[in-house]
Structure 1
Amino acid sequence: MLFRRVILAAALSLSTAAQALAAWHEARTKHFIIYSEQRPEDLKTYAEKLERFDAAVRKVRGYGDPALTDGARLTIFDLPSVAAVQRLLPARANAAGFYIPRASGAVAFVSSRDDKSGRLLGPSHLLQHEYTHHLMLTDPDSPLAAWLVEGTAEFFGTAVVEADGSVKIGYPPQGRAQTILRDVGFGAGDLLAGTRPRSDLDRSSLYGKGWLLTHYLAFNPARRGQLDRYVQGLARGVPARQAAEASFGDLKQLDREIDRYATKKFPALQVPAGAGPTVEIRTLGAGEAAIMPVRIRVDRGLRPQDMASVSEQARGVAERYPTDPAVQAVLAEVELDARRTGPAIAAADRALASNPKHIGAMIIKGRALLEEARAKGGTANWGEVRRWLIQANRADTENAEPLFLFYQSFLAARQKPTADAVKGLYYAHVLMPHDVNLRFHVVRQHLTDGELPDALRAFAPIIANPHLEVEKRPMLLQAMQKMQGGDAPGALAAILIDYQTRRGRTDD
């Protein structure tokens, strides 16, 4: 079921007003690794609230809760202010925080101490919104419609954690009032039929009207089960309008119903508090703390114009802490980003000499060996590359990146992936379904093997992503149409053309 009914109650604002200190701390929970300069007691409270939010979403959505290793936990960098977050973004970006899904581990950048109530998307709202996306993609039956993807994220994004640990869900997103209360932008029929946005108002509707429709369907007993039937139709490849009309009936009537619903007091769900989550806090060592500014920029993704200054900073810290594995692993990644594979391998080896089980250093060395092999072409020792990636996989079998890199090594060598490589790719996708590049490879492999239903299931969330701007990538829409028409070779050709255009090359 898409929603499960739970008990109703009152609310408390989710915020942490901790004062920043110089010392960096790490909070480790079942689902999160948080780095922050908050006081340990405030960081513990912040981490507990995130865990309670996670538990509430899982309960309402009916998600499982498997054990996770570090590669699958969400890493959060809690910065001193929104201004510090925005310095990591392009010049004209104005977000209060952001989230990056990737096979190497999803990361988020926020500021829990600058959560101003007047923002369209404050840091708490934004993190909960994005984390809902993070959880939704772990569901094989993830919503396949843009309005539902964003409407569901808005539905949970405004949740508040009460003093007793319970979580209240269903608050309206205040910054979306224009599209919720006024009859502007998309209506229910446009959303359900999969109409692509043509204006900023249309795009805003995916969030505001998407929240309204999601909320209405969650609380209206007369329409119970219709949303499930709609999503099931989309999963079978039924065109959106046809699936909508078969599930909801008269879409104009539904539109009138949600317009009336927008003028009433919204009900809410309350998830009772469960057992208190376990939070482990530690103070980072001197080397880890010194390299943290570099690590934040590396995990954000280094821009070419920043490479020289960040490299100099990383080498300076590494000279002071030559045996610190955390420092040397960050230096290895900086060197690899700068395309200096030899120094990257050397730094990774120094990290592994101090800590032979440092999975981050093992993976960076594997990436560097793969890049060296790409450069050597026909003279590359692919066996050595793969042996190292297998070793990294054995060190952490639940880490997606070594599995994905192992599969990619066959494409880079222009060799057919082995059965084990394909199996590893699919398991990497199970572990880290948020990575779009990994998902594209999964779709491509399914199409290569003529597995259309599996390809369509993996591809639908890509098309449903409203941020992808598929209008600028017409081959993706053509690929979707080919899949729905049963043409696996035609869909594969369209996927490859899009991939080659994006990569600016014609290999792998």
Structure 2
Amino acid sequence: MKLFNAMLLRLKRGAAVSVLSALAATAAGVAPAHADWLKAESERFIVYSDGGESKLRDFVQELEAYDRFLRLRMGLDVNEAPPRKLPIYLVASRRGLTQVRPDLPENVAGFYMATDEDIFGIALRDQTVNTLKHEYAHHFMMQNFSYPYPGWFVEGFAEYYATVEVEKSRILVGKYNENRAYWLQAASWMPMAELLSKRPLERARNRDTYYPLAWLLTHWFIGDADRQKALDAYLRDVGAGGDPVEAMERATGLNPTELQRTLRRYMNGRIPYQAVTVAYPPAPLTVTRLPRSADDLLLLNQRLKVGVPEDKRAATAEEVRRATARHPDDPLALLALGHAELHFGDPAAAEAPLQRLLALDPNHVEALQYLARARLKAAEDADSLEETDRLSGEARAFLHRAYRADDANYATLLLIAENRNGGEGYPNDNDVAVLEQAFALAPQLGEARINLAQVLMIRDRNAEAVPLLEPLVNDPHRPSAGARALLLRAKGMTEAEADAEEAEILKKGEAEGEDTPSDSPAGD
């Protein structure tokens, strides 16, 4: 099935980036004590787990099959690997999740983060993997199909494929989530006009049904070949700037009230799912056991990448100091200590552990990146132009070493562009090329999209900036106000005109027919 056709921008393929791994031995050549943590690496994923090896291998094989199945459904080469392997952390309990995000809300089984230092997922090990599949579907869509989809379809796509079940000789797709089905049966629905808006509306009514309705509408479209063609036409229309409500009526012949009634009938029937006969050969993978330092520092190091609130930074730096003191001269400990001091403690104290790490591994990309970050911050605070130039030159030298060690690391490319920002002739053709490659490697990262959009707009290439920004503005999870302001500039629109568009959609929602919840079951 091809829901996405030539209108979609395919990204360039690149080499997989390097990820953090413990050295096999210390400088003295003594093998370190082993941790509870295992690391499994396959063609598309790097999965860390503090559980057993057998379940870890099964999990990675399921993820590999899931990725291949998504590629099959989207008309992509099933054997093509992404430009960057996705790191995933499997933990035994909520405590593992809060090691990375101490402020995590209750009842969250996992999450996905895209930052300027890492893009990764983390989930409870022995619970349902639907949450992780949902987030990976987002990751997959952003990687392979950079297009200004309406927010409901972004979530509907992820919800639809989150319930995929991988069996030995077949894959089940299109099954429903019981919680989503409950909301569809028991609650008043969000007006279709408000659901169909390109971006989530804060004033939308009955917002609890947003995700269930996004799933149901996606399921209805995908469940029939003719409706798949209508979906393609609708997405093209909206992507070209068409009104999302009028585009739906043009594609399906249904106004919002008729669409709502159609979806209710569809829900109250027996919602079909497909059993696709397909079996993928086991993916090659290697499993290694990490050094003992991983028990104390693997997740804590990820917290440093996510970020720490201002009032918790000193305590976090002290926590890292205590943990790293138990593992002297360990590569992971040196990296975490240097990182913590640089961003949350004493920046001057970051130099020694990071330089020591480079003495152990001269091509350690993350150590080189953090030393470059330190020079960039010092250059920003320098008192003279000469000092700024000297520090910028040192940052450039570290980044050149990092690029030679791994030329497909998006963080290095973003730092190279940052070091050039404001320099003579910025942005020149090479600056644009650097940011284009960073985006190709990490289209899931808002910073990569915004930075590229900004330089394109400086070069009077506004039309190319628009599709970079719209996914950030349309994101139902975390719509970006900064991206919205930039998007309006790229389109030549004012805030008043954008607000008027939203008001018109809300008006259409108020005009829809009466919504009466049904007592009928959602089907199987």
After TM superposition, is the score higher than 0.5? yes
- What is the identity, as a one-letter code, of the residue corresponding to 1:454? E
1:352 aligns with 2:353: no
Distance in 1 of aligned mates of 2:141 and 2:465: 18
Equivalent residue for 2:16?
none
Alignment partner for residue 420 of structure 1, among 427, 430, 433?
Answer: 430
User: After alignment, is 292-301 or 363-372 more displaced?
Assistant: 292-301
Partner Cα separation in structure 2 for residue 420 and residue 476 of structure 1: 24
Letter in 2 for 1:156: Y
Check if 1:453 corresponds to 2:459. no
- Letter of the structure 1 residue corresponding to residue 469 of structure 2: F
Structure 2 letter corresponding to 1:385: A
Match of 1:175 in 2: 179
**1:470-489, aligned counterparts within 5 Å?**
473=481, 477=484, 479-484=486-491, 487=492
CA–CA distance in 2 between the matches of 1:362 and 1:186? 50
Deviation readout 1:189-230 (Å, 9 max, x if unpaired): 433344744468643333101100101100123323111122
Aligned match of 1:52 = 65
Give unpaired runs (5+ residues) of structure 1: 5-20, 116-122, 495-508
For 1:237, what is the secondary structure of its paired residue? coil
Change (3 A) 1:327 1:444: same
Secondary structure of 2:421's match? helix
1:431 Cα shift?
A: 0.6
1:389 corresponding residue in structure 2: 399
* TM-score of the pair, normalised by structure 2: 0.80
Q: 2:76 matched to 1:80? A: no
| In structure 2, distance between residues paired with 1:196 and 1:53 | 28
Query: Residues 34-45 of structure 1 correspond to what in structure 2 (within 5 A)?
Result: 34-45=47-58
Distance 1:323 1:86, change over 3 A: closer
Output the CA distance in 2 between the equivalents of 1:429 and 1:74: 15
What residue in structure 2 maps to residue 90 of structure 1?
A: 103
What is residue 408 of structure 1 aligned with on the other side?
A: 418
2:253 alignment counterpart: 249
Match of 1:119 in 2: none
Q: Which amino acid aligns with 2:93?
A: S
Provide the C-alpha distance between the structure 1 equivalents of 2:97 and 2:221, rounded to a whole number of angstroms: 36
Superimposed CA distance per residue, residues 404-428 of structure 1 (whole angstroms, 9 cap, x where no aligned partner): 1111123366972332122111110
Which residue in the other structure is 2:23 paired with?
none
**2:508 maps to which residue?**
none
Q: Using a 3 Å threshold, how does the CA distance of structure 1 residues 124 and 413 change in structure 2: closer, same or farther?
A: same
Structure 1 residues 168 and 103, CA gap change in structure 2 (3 angstroms): farther
User: Which residue in 1 is equivalent to 2:512?
Assistant: none
Cα separation, partners in 2 of 1:426 and 1:130, compared to 1, 3 Å: same
Distance 1:234 1:466 in 2: 17
Is 2:212 aligned against 1:208? yes
Q: CA deviation at 1:384?
A: 2.4
1:181-192 equivalence runs, <5 A: 181=185, 184-192=188-196
> Residue by residue, what CA displacement relative to the aligned partner does 1:248-273 show, whole Å, maximum 9, x if unpaired?
22223333221110012222234412
Q: Which residue of 2 aligns with 1:340?
A: 346
Structure 1 residue 221 corresponds to structure 2 residue 233 = no
Aligned to 1:108: 121
The aligned amino acid for 1:404 is L
Q: 1:156 maps to what in 2?
A: 161
Query: SS state of the match for residue 207, structure 1?
Result: helix
Q: 1:77 to 1:306 in 2, by over 3 A?
A: farther
Change (3 A) 1:200 1:82: farther
Q: Distance in 1 between matches of 2:197 and 2:275?
A: 31
Q: Is 1:25 matched up with 2:26? A: no
Q: Give unpaired runs (5+ residues) of structure 2.
A: 6-33, 499-524
Q: Which residue is equivalent to 1:295?
A: 301
Task: Check the 8 A contact 1:404/1:425 in 2, yes or no.
Answer: yes
What's the offset of the Cα at 1:130?
0.7
Alignment of 1:129 onto 2:139? no
SS at match of 2:143: coil
Query: Cα–Cα, structure 1 residues 270 and 182, in superposed 2: closer, same or farther, change >3 Å?
Result: same
Q: Is the 8 A contact 1:98 1:108 kept in 2?
A: yes
Letter in 1 for 2:467: R
> Larger relative contact order (C-alpha < 8 A, sep ≥ 6)?
2
Distance 1:419 1:260 in 2: 55
Partners of 1:334 and 1:77 lie apart in 2 by: 20
Cα displacement (A) at 1:154: 0.4
Letter paired with 2:214 = G
| Structure 1 residues 47 and 219: CA distance shift in structure 2, 3 A | same
> What is the distance in 1 between the residues matched to 2:325 and 2:93?
30
8 Å CA contact 2:160–2:219 kept in 1: the answer is: yes
Tell me how far 1:159 sits from its aligned partner.
1.4
For the pair 1:235 / 2:248, whether they are aligned, the reply is no
Change (3 A) 1:210 1:45: same
CA distance in 2, matches of 1:150, 1:236: 20
C-alpha distance in 2 between matches for 1:143 and 1:258: 24
- Structure 1 counterpart of 2:451, which letter? H
**2:150/2:474 contact within 8 Å kept:** yes
In 2, distance between residues paired with 1:194 and 1:74? 28
Q: What is the letter of the counterpart of residue 97 of structure 2?
A: V
Residue 305 of structure 1 deviates from its aligned partner by 4.1
Shift of 1:75: 1.6
**Any idea what the Cα deviations from partners look like across 1:9-61, whole Å, max 9, x if unmatched?**
xxxxxxxxxxxx97111111222222211111121112211221122122212
Aligned to 1:444: 454
1:311 matched residue in structure 2: 317
1:220 partner letter: D
Aligned equivalent of 2:516: none
1:261 and 2:266 aligned: yes
State the distance in 2 between where 1:67 and 1:104 align. Answer: 22
Contact kept? 1:189, 1:255, Cα under 8 Å: no
Assess, with a 3 A threshold, how the Cα gap between structure 1 residues 101 and 403 changes in structure 2: closer, same or farther.
same
Normalised by the length of structure 1, the TM-score is: 0.82
